[in-house]
Amino acid sequence: MPIYRAPLDDFRFVLNEFLEVTKQTDLPGYADLSEDLLDDILTNAGKFCEEVLQPINQSGDEEGAHFENGAVRTPKGFKEAYKAYCEAGWGSLGASAKAGGSGLPMAVTMAVAEMAQSANQSFAMYPGLTGAAAGALAATGAPWMKEHVLPKMVSGEWAGTMCLTEPHCGTDLRLMKTKAVEQPDGTYKLSGTKIFISGGDQDLTDNIVHMVIAKIPDENGQIHNDLSTVNFFMVPKFLVSEDGKMGARNGVSTGGIEKKMGIKAQATCVLNFDEAVAWRLGPKPTAPKPGEKRSSSAGMAGMFGMMNAARLGVGVQGISIGEVAYQNGVAYAHERRVGHALTGPKEPDKPADLEIVHPDVRRMLLHCRAFIEGARAVAMWTTLNMAIAESSRPEKETASLLSDLMTPVIKAFFTDMGFEAANMAMQVYGGHGYIRDNGVEQFVRDGRINQTYEGANGVQAMDLVGRKLGRKGGAAPMALFSVINGWIVENEGNAEMARFVKPVKRGLDNLQQATMWLAQHGMQNPNDAGAGAVDYLRMMGIVVLGWMWGRMAKLSMEKLAAGGGNKPLYEAKIVSARYWMERMIPECPMLLERIQAGSETIMAFEKETV
């Protein structure tokens, strides 16, 4: 039977000691955040996840979501858990008070989301997607939607989804066929098919508010293979009047649920829209003037805002799956006996030593822990930058650049590493990890989707290299290099910090070289940028986590020197930091060499050679 314990000590370290979030009183949402309030939220959320969500994770996977007579039924226990989740207010922590929420900062909501996803990813996706949809509606919806629809989504009475992908069209939105035709009353009739819709149907809520992208035909009734007429729409499962009352069933039907590798308790649906009543979100598109090139519609802004929130959420799912898999791997390594320690038996009176004595087992577990805790710190630091970007602080522009740069890195690197961690934890079990009863194989299956949805990780890498690096004259990478280099200069005279500063400096040098190479060669041959993008994103992730580990190691050494506090945690932080410097930073020169190999060999691979 798998286990999960909320990592409360690490949350306290990152939020209270490392980032000192309760001192950020000038930032939006932080004014009333005290250590006592934060601890109360984390403790109770952790208890809820341990006692309510985790116990139905494995059973939910075994049973799966059901599709019967055109409707979806969630597994046993999910309806009761969802009701308890909403009554406790866990889904409304970050929403504004006006919409019925608590107005807490993302650092808090992200911590709660991480625990829920570790305990039960399939369940957590239902309210998680509602939160992303609610955020988009809050940003782009009409006043009546914000007054009547949004509060129901915040309370959990209604759910929300994101409807983007079509059978023939995933990332390339230009190829979409779903269309929305304007009606005399200002609404639209929306028709088309969307697939892979998480939470597309369920029996948890009275209504589901679908956030859909579709094309508006031009004046000749044509839709174009570009982004010029792509717009964002609210399409509820049941019609909603402007006073918030729910009416008849809309033209939305469930075609089925996907039979998937993992997250089986999550209803991933095919949705058919047959002249469904839709409300446009954002400004109406305008036709280009004669000779003017069609451009992305203004209505796309709401969709991209929702996508960015979802990408951060998926990145946190990478941490979540790594955390729960790691915990189970550690537990097993302290129970299973196999062989003797290489230096001689640790327990001579036993037939074999515990598995934890073996170096390779410790390597795998330390790899998991170093990623999880480093990534958690980077994610929380990014949420802080997002808050600073909305403040009046002088560094707001830099904070905005850094958070924007980190979004694809968090989504892709964290989910890649989270899957690595789940696989390593499963390997700790040996053959028993492959057996369903032990539960760890579920983490591998569930975690695999995180690398694919909300933009596959290769697409995230191309977003980083193709868009983020060159935007505003390269301001974002230069801001990152500057802040890391500033830390290096500040600490390179400290002998105790040498084992952390020198590796980060080497990694940063490699990252800067890779950036320059891509800037020079990517302009001449875009395939060179495409061939090196995934390696570049991984290198940036490694360097940023290395810098974060250097900072946390310094703080931990200072805490140990001062005495008091959580001594075992500080000591473990230093060990994890050393692991990252010794085992992960050395990947950087290898990644640089691969990037500089360019695209010639890759592009020489033709279908005829297969």
Contacts of 523 (CB under 8 A, 6+ apart): none
* Amino acid code (one letter) for 408: P
**Tokens 């309760």 map to which residue?**
22
Q: What whole-number distance in Å separates Cα of residue 77 and Cα of residue 81? A: 6
Q: Measuring CA to CA, which residue among 355, 362, 428 is closest to residue 572?
A: 362
Q: Are residues 590 and 516 in the same domain?
A: yes
For the chain, give the longest Cα–Cα distance: 88
- 3-state SS assignment for residue 205: coil
In a domain, 18, yes or no: yes
Q: Residue 141: what pLDDT?
A: 94
Contacts of 360 (CB under 8 A, 6+ apart): none
Handedness of CA 125, 131, 135, 136 (dihedral sign): positive
Q: Measuring CA to CA, which residue among 170, 43, 199, 110 is closest to residue 455?
A: 170
Residues 97-145 have pLDDT tens digits of 999 999 999 999 999 999 999 999 999 999 999 999 999 999 999 999 9
Q: Are residues 53 and 107 in the same domain?
A: yes
Residue 571: burial class (beta carbons within 10 Å; 0-12, 13-18, 19+): middle
- 3-state SS assignment for residue 347: coil
Q: Is the pLDDT of residue 609 over 70?
A: no
Q: Are residues 20 and 149 in the same domain?
A: yes
373 catalytic, yes or no? no
Average of per-residue pLDDT across 89-95: 95
Number of domains in the chain: 3
Q: Residue 195: what pLDDT?
A: 96
Q: Residue 286: what pLDDT?
A: 64
Q: Is the pLDDT of residue 393 over 70?
A: yes
CA–CA distance from 80 to each of 65, 89, 201, 204 (Å)? 15, 14, 17, 9
Q: Are residues 128 and 197 in the same domain?
A: no
Average of per-residue pLDDT across 544-552: 98
Average of per-residue pLDDT across 431-438: 95
Q: What whole-number distance in Å separates Cα of residue 505 and Cα of residue 500? A: 9
- 3-state SS assignment for residue 287: coil
Q: Is the pLDDT of residue 258 over 70?
A: yes
In a domain, 383, yes or no: no
**Dihedral, 298, 300, 306, 309 alpha carbons, nearest 10:** -80
- Average pLDDT of the chain is 94
Q: CA 30, 111, 316 angle in degrees (round to 5)?
A: 120
Q: Measuring CA to CA, which residue among 3, 2, 17, 1 is closest to residue 373?
A: 17
Residue 148: burial class (beta carbons within 10 Å; 0-12, 13-18, 19+): middle
Average of per-residue pLDDT across 181-206: 96
Q: Are residues 133 and 203 in the same domain?
A: no
Average of per-residue pLDDT across 335-345: 95
Q: Are residues 125 and 178 in the same domain?
A: no
Q: Are residues 49 and 175 in the same domain?
A: no
**Dihedral, 512, 513, 518, 520 alpha carbons, nearest 10:** 110
In a domain, 426, yes or no: no
Q: CA 26, 27, 33 angle in degrees (round to 5)?
A: 85
Q: Are residues 164 and 259 in the same domain?
A: yes
Q: Of the residues 258, 323, 373, 454, which is catalytic?
A: 454
Q: Are residues 110 and 178 in the same domain?
A: no
Structure-block tokens of residue 331: 């537990």
Strands 207-215 and 158-163: parallel
Helix, strand, coil shares of the chain, percent, nearest 5, are 60, 10, 30
Residues 521-541 have pLDDT tens digits of 988 999 999 999 999 999 999
Q: Residue 168: what pLDDT?
A: 86
Q: Measuring CA to CA, which residue among 203, 200, 204, 205 is closest to residue 269?
A: 200
Q: What whole-number distance in Å separates Cα of residue 536 and Cα of residue 166? A: 30
Q: Is the pLDDT of residue 27 over 80?
A: yes
**Is the CB of residue 466 less than 8 Å from the CB of residue 403?**
no
Residue 251: burial class (beta carbons within 10 Å; 0-12, 13-18, 19+): middle
In a domain, 138, yes or no: yes
Q: Are residues 42 and 179 in the same domain?
A: no
Q: What whole-number distance in Å separates Cα of residue 514 and Cα of residue 480? A: 14
Average of per-residue pLDDT across 11-22: 98
Q: What whole-number distance in Å separates Cα of residue 405 and Cα of residue 328? A: 33
Q: Is the pLDDT of residue 184 over 90?
A: yes
In a domain, 355, yes or no: no
Q: Residue 226: what pLDDT?
A: 77
Q: Are residues 110 and 166 in the same domain?
A: no
Q: Is the pLDDT of residue 242 over 80?
A: yes
Q: Are residues 493 and 556 in the same domain?
A: yes
Range of the domain at 137: 8-153
Q: Bridge partners of 280?
A: 233
Residues 271-300 have pLDDT tens digits of 999 999 999 998 876 666 666 665 555 556
Average of per-residue pLDDT across 201-228: 90
Banded model confidence at residue 156, pLDDT cuts 50, 70, 90 = very high
**Dihedral, 339, 344, 345, 346 alpha carbons, nearest 10:** -120
Which among 266, 285, 304 is the end of a domain?
285
Q: What whole-number distance in Å separates Cα of residue 192 and Cα of residue 255? A: 12
Which among 257, 285, 313 is the end of a domain?
285
